[in-house]
Homo-oligomer: A and B are copies of this chain.
Amino acid sequence: MLGTHHLETPTHPKSARENAGARGSRSLDERLAYALERRLEPKEHVFCEGDPRTHVFRVEEGVIAIYKTLFDGRRRIIDFAYPGDFIGLGMLGEHIMSAQATCQSKVRCLSASALENLAETDASLALKLYKSVCQDLAAARNLLVTVGQRSAVERVAAFLLTLHRRSAEGDVVKLAMRRSDIADLLGLTIETVSRTLTKLREMDVIDVEQGGTTVTLRDLPRLTDLANE
């Protein structure tokens, strides 16, 4: 999700896909075209931990936070899903994570069982699912690297860089989420996130505008250095 590419109709170099492959691609796209679209307000849930996994969703607009709630109520955000990303993939009958919009968003809904039945005969579709999950895995592992044993500055810097790579509009990064969302993703407190952003601003590495929702990356090399990447 973060730092990954969309799940587009892939162009396989091999010829083998002519049969089920091409058919499957169309099926997925067709299904998406006809799929029910759902609008979400900020903080509205797509699904919750423990819900039966009836659907798989593709994000069309906005940002969806994937998270898990600990027993003491703390919230651990695992990933942010952006337009093009699929959420709700997996093999279990229940969702093990919750998914919540951080801002106004739109998703398309696909029947999970239909998709997975189809994938049992359609190698092309199965491979797409595989690749999508591979990207999620890469994102999760990257975050793991970031969050594991790094200081607050490193984490925030790495987060900004990931966001920049993901949705680069020049050097301006739009934070479509609250401080608490960033904090829960990076394993920091809101205050530390705030303090760290201030520190980065004082170092002239970034600029924070529009009530803290927009960040301009002033010194990308320095930021990369701070992120230790």
Contacts and interface: CB of A to CB of B under 8 A. Distances in A.
Interface stretch (A32-40, A116-124, A173-181, A214-222): A116-124
A119 B123 contact: yes
Given A21-B120, A89-B134, A123-B119, A148 B187 contact: yes
Nearest to A135: B91
Interface residues of A, number: 52
Contacts of A149: 74, 76, 184, 187-188
Assembly stoichiometry (copies)? 2
Contacts of A74: 149
Interface string A119-138: 11111111101110111111
A12 B120 CA distance: 9
Contacts of A134: 89-91, 133
Interface string A11-25: 010101101110000
Interface string A62-77: 0000001011101010
A85 to B, nearest CB: 13
A120 B127 contact: yes
A33 B195 CA distance: 56
A147 B145 CA distance: 10
A89 B71 CA distance: 33
A76 B120 contact: no
Contacts of A17: 120-121
Given A119-B123, A127-B120, A78 B141 contact: yes
Nearest to A189: B149
For A71, A133, A138, A184, the residue with the greatest tally of chain B CB atoms inside 10 Å of its CB is A133
The 10 closest A-B pairs by CB, nearest first: A126-B126, A148-B187, A140-B140, A149-B187, A123-B123, A130-B130, A16-B121, A137-B137, A133-B133, A16-B120
